[in-house]
Chains A and B, each alone.
Chain A
C-alpha cells in the first residue's frame, strides 16, 4: 500500500489533497502583503500614521504596544521582507512568525487605523504559521528536497476556506438590518458622492441603484462561500467575486482589500486543478520546484493533537466573537460596543463632533480644547464617534493638563453624532467627568440612548 492509499482510508479532514493550492495561496498572499507594505511606505503613511501623531489610541489590553519612532521604518522593513520570504517559501516557519508578529504589532499601534481586512490578514497569518505551506513551490523545498510533499491533509486548506467563509457569512449577516435593506443606508449617501465616475457615474444618482447594490451585497456575502465550494457554480462565483470586489475598489477608498479577497478566494478552487496548472508551468519554467512524488505531509501525533485543539479554539472564538454585542444593551451601531472584529464592513456612515472642556477642579477655571492640537484629522474623526476613543482622549487631556499645572482636571465632552443620515443628536452625557471613567467591556452608562430603532442583526 502506498502512503497515499493509506491516507485515503482516513477521515474526510485527513484525506490527502495536492499541496499546490496552499502553496499558491501562500505565494499570492505573501506577494500582496509585500506589495501592501511597499504601497504604504511610498504613500508616506508610515510617517503620517505611526510617527507624526502625538498620541495613539491603544486597544484595550494592548497598552504595552508602543510606537517605535523612527524604528517604525525598521518594523515595516521586517514586515515587507518577511512577506517576501513568506511568499517565496524561504525559511517559511520563521518568516511566517515574523510576518504575523510585525504585521499585527503595526495594527495594534493605533486602533484609529483599524480595518477589517487588516484583522483578516492577521488571522490568516496566524493560521498559516501552523500549516505546511512550504512543501511545494518553495525555496525551502529547492534547498532541501526532502521536505517536498505532493499531498497535505484536507483540513489545511480547509481551515483557510473556513476563515474566508466566516468573513463572508458574518459580513452578510451584518447586512441583514433595516438601515441596509430597507433604507439602502449608507450606500444612498455614498454612491451619489461618486457620480462623477466615467460611464456608470450618472447611474449612481438613482436611489434604486443604492438598493440594488445593498441587496446584491447582502446576497453575495451570504451565498458566495457555498457557491465557491460547489464545483458546478465555482466559476461563476469567481466571476462574481471579481466583479464585486473590483466594483468596491472603484467606488470606495478601501486600498488593497478587494485584491487580497480576489486572490484569497483562489483557495476554493480544486487543488487538483491548481496542481495540474503548476505541473504545466513546471514544463516551461524548469527552475521552479514543484512536488512530483506521491508523498504526503504528516504531522507528528502530538503535534496533530495540539493543532486540533488550537484550531478548534481559534474557530470557536471566531464564530462567537461577532455575537458578543448581544451582551451589552443599546444599539450596536450607536454604542459600537462589540463592533470591531466582527466583519461589519461598510455598514455605517457615522460622523461626530466633540467639544471637550477641561476644568481645574480647585479653581474652577476652564478651557475649551482644540482637538486638532492633540490629534490627526483621522484620529479626531474616529474619536468623535466611538466611546472608547472618547475615554482615551479624556485621559490624554487629563495627563496633559495635569502636567501643565491644573490640579486634578475634570474633563467634559459635548458630543454630537449622526448615524446613517439621521439628524445628529447628543451622544454622551456631557455632565460626566470622562477622565474618571474607566474603559472596560461593560456597557458605558454615559452613552445616551439612540433615538431611533434599527431592526435586524
Chain B
C-alpha cells in the first residue's frame, strides 16, 4: 500500500511540472502580452475612480449647474429664447446622465441620484397637483415620478402642443409663478444631490481603491453588481424591454424614456450603451485613459468559449453588435415599438444576449462572492 502511495506521489511530482511547463508554453504563444499585473485590483479600482467615476460626476455637476441656471433664467424671463436655452441644457444634461446612471454604488447607493433624476414615466397629474398645492416635498418617495429629467420633459415639452402655448403656462397662466418655482425646485434638488455625491466620492475614493478584496462588501463586488444590475434592469429592460413588452407581449409606448421628446430617446439609449462599453473596457470617461478595466482582467483570467474565443472579446463584440443595431434603427423607439415591433424586439434580443455574459460569465470569472455565509464551493 505504502509503495503504491509512494509511486503515485512520485508520479504526481513528475506530472506536475510537466503540466505547468506545457501550460506556460501554450500561454506564452497564445497571449504574449499577458502579465499578472492585470490582476491588480487596486490599479483597476484606481483607474475606474480617477478615469471614469470622478470625471463623470464632475461633468454631470457642470451640466446640472448649467441646467439650473438656465431654468432660473427661464423663470425670471420666460420667452422663446430662454425656453430653447433651457431645453438645450436639459437635453445635454440628460445625455450626460446616461454615463452616470450606471454608478449607483458607494455614496450613491444611499443617495440614489436615479430617484431624483430619472424615474419615468413621469406622472403629470402629480406634478400639477404639487404645483397647485405648493406644499410638496421632493424627498418623499411618492414624488419620485414628479421630478428630474422626465418631469422637466413634461414641463418644457409636454405641457402643451406648441411653444407659444407652452410659454403661456409660464406667463399668463394663473399658476405660472408656482409652476416656475416648481421647475426651479426640481433643478435645485438635482444640483444639491449631484453635489452631495460628488463631495462624498472625494472622501470615499481612498477606501474604495484600497478595498481590493472580493467578498460581498468589497469595492469590485459592489461596483460590478451595480454595473450589471444597471445594464439588465435600467438599460435593457427600462429603455427597450419594458416599452416593447418583450416579456409581456404588450407594447406600451407611454413608458419610453424622454416621452415628450421622442427624437431624443434613441440617443439616450445609444449613449447609455456607449457608457457601458467604456466602463467595460476601462478606456475612461473622456476616452483619455486606457487603464485597467473589466476587459483586461477577464482577458488575463483567459476564460474562453468552445471555439477558443476569449469571453472578454465576446462581450465586446456582442455589445458592439447591439450598439450598431440600435444606432442604425429609425424611427425613434417610442414610435418604433408599435410601427416596427419586430425590429425593436431584435434590438432587445441583442441587448439580452449580453445579460448572461455580464451576469454569469463576468462575475463568475472575477470570483466575486455574493454572501457572507459559509460556502464550500459546491
Name the segment of A284-292, A396-404, A421-429 touching the other chain.
A421-429
SS of B interface (majority): helix
- Judge if A60 is at the interface, Cβ distance under 8 Å: no
Known: A215-B12, A344-B378. A424 touches B361 (CB 8 A): yes
Residues of A within 8 A of B24 (CB): 207-208
Asked if B196 is an interface residue, CB under 8 A from chain A, the answer is no
Residue with the highest number of chain A CB atoms closer than 10 Å, among B36, B314, B363 = B36
Cα(A372)–Cα(B2), bound, Å: 53
User: B304 in the interface, Cβ–Cβ < 8 Å?
Assistant: yes
Most buried by A among B1, B212, B361: B361
Neighbouring A residues of B305 by C-beta, 8 Å? 422-423
19 CB contacts below 8 A, A to B, read A48-B373, A114-B378, A115-B376, A116-B378, A196-B213, A223-B8, A226-B5, A230-B2, A253-B369, A253-B374, A253-B375, A254-B376, A347-B377, A349-B364, A351-B364, A366-B248, A366-B249, A367-B248, A423-B305
Question: How many angstroms between the C-alpha atoms of A344 and B301 in the bound complex?
Answer: 24
Q: A223-B5, A368-B248, A423-B306 are in contact. Are A189 and B367 (CB under 8 A)?
A: yes
Checking B20, B41, B311, B367 against A423 with a beta-carbon cut-off of 8 angstroms, the contacting residue is: B311
A13 CB–B CB distance under 8 Å: no
Binding-face segment, B114-122, B138-146, B352-360? B352-360
Q: Are B248 and A257 in contact (CB under 8 A)?
A: no
Interface residues of A in 370-387 (CB under 8 A from B): 377-378, 381
Query: Is A211 part of the binding interface, using a Cβ–Cβ cutoff of 8 Å?
Result: yes
Whether A45 sits at the interface, judged by CB under 8 Å, is yes
> Number of A residues contacting the other chain (C-beta, 8 Å)?
70
Bitwise interface map of A from 397 to 436 toward B, beta carbon under 8 Å scored 1, else 0: 0000000000000000000111001111000000000000
- Check if A421 sits within 8 Å of B303, measured CB to CB: yes
Known: A45-B373, A366-B248. A190 touches B367 (CB 8 A): yes
How many angstroms between the C-alpha atoms of A404 and B242 in the bound complex? 22
Report B1-36 CB contacts with A as 1/0, cut-off 8 Å.
110010011001001100110011001000000001
Q: How far is the CA of A339 from the CA of B378 in the complex (A)?
A: 9
Chain B: interface residue total (CB-CB under 8 A)? 53
- Asked whether A43 is an interface residue with its Cβ less than 8 Å from the other chain, the reply is yes
Asked if A448 lies at the interface with its beta carbon under 8 angstroms from chain B, I say no
**Which B residues lie within 8 Å of A352 (CB)?**
360
**Smallest CB gap from B375: residue in A:** A253
A346-B248 contact in complex given A219-B12, A353-B359, C-beta closer than 8 Å: no
A219 → chain B, closest Cβ, in Å?
A: 5
User: Which residues of chain B have C-beta atoms less than 8 A from A48's C-beta?
Assistant: 373
Smallest CB gap from B249: residue in A = A366
**Contact residues of A between 127 and 175, Cβ < 8 Å to B:** none
A345 at the interface (CB under 8 A from B): yes
Known: A219-B8, A381-B370. A205 touches B375 (CB 8 A): no
Whole-angstrom CA separation of A378 from B371 in the bound complex? 7
- The 3 A-B residue pairs whose C-beta atoms are closest, nearest first, are A193-B367, A255-B374, A416-B356
Residues of A within 8 A of B (CB): 43, 45, 48-49, 113-117, 182, 186, 188-190, 192-196, 202, 205-208, 211-212, 215, 219, 222-223, 226-227, 230, 252-257, 339-340, 344-353, 355, 357, 364-368, 377-378, 381, 416-418, 421-424, 451-452
Q: B39 interface residue, CB < 8 Å from A?
A: yes
Cα–Cα distance between A215 and B361 once the two chains are bound (Å):
25
B263 at interface by CB-CB < 8 Å? no
Q: Is the CB of A196 within 8 A of B377?
A: no
Q: Besides the contacts A219-B12, A257-B376, A423-B361, what 6 more A-B pairs have beta carbons closer than 8 Å?
A: A115-B378, A189-B365, A193-B214, A253-B374, A365-B249, A423-B305
B25 to chain A, nearest CB (A): 12
The reply to whether B306 and A194 contact each other, CB–CB distance below 8 Å, is no
B301 touches A192 (CB 8 A): yes
Q: How far is the CB of B55 from chain A (nearest CB, A)?
A: 26
Q: Within B200-218, which residues are at the interface with A (CB < 8 Å)?
A: 212-215
Note all chain A residues with C-beta closer than 8 A to B247. 355, 357, 366-368
Contacts of B85 in A (CB 8 A): none
Q: Is the CB of B378 within 8 A of A189?
A: no
Residues of B within 8 A of A186 (CB): 377
Determine how close the nearest CB of chain A comes to the CB of B208; give it in whole angstroms: 14
Interface string of B219-230 (1 = CB under 8 A from A): 000000000000
**In whole angstroms, what is the CA distance A120 to B144 when docked?**
51
CB neighbours (8 Å) of B9 from chain A are 219, 223
For residue A212, give the distance in angstroms from its CB to the closest CB of chain B.
7
| Least distance between A435 CB and chain B CB atoms (Å) | 17
Q: State which of B214, B215, B374, B378 has its C-beta within 8 Å of the C-beta of A257.
A: B374
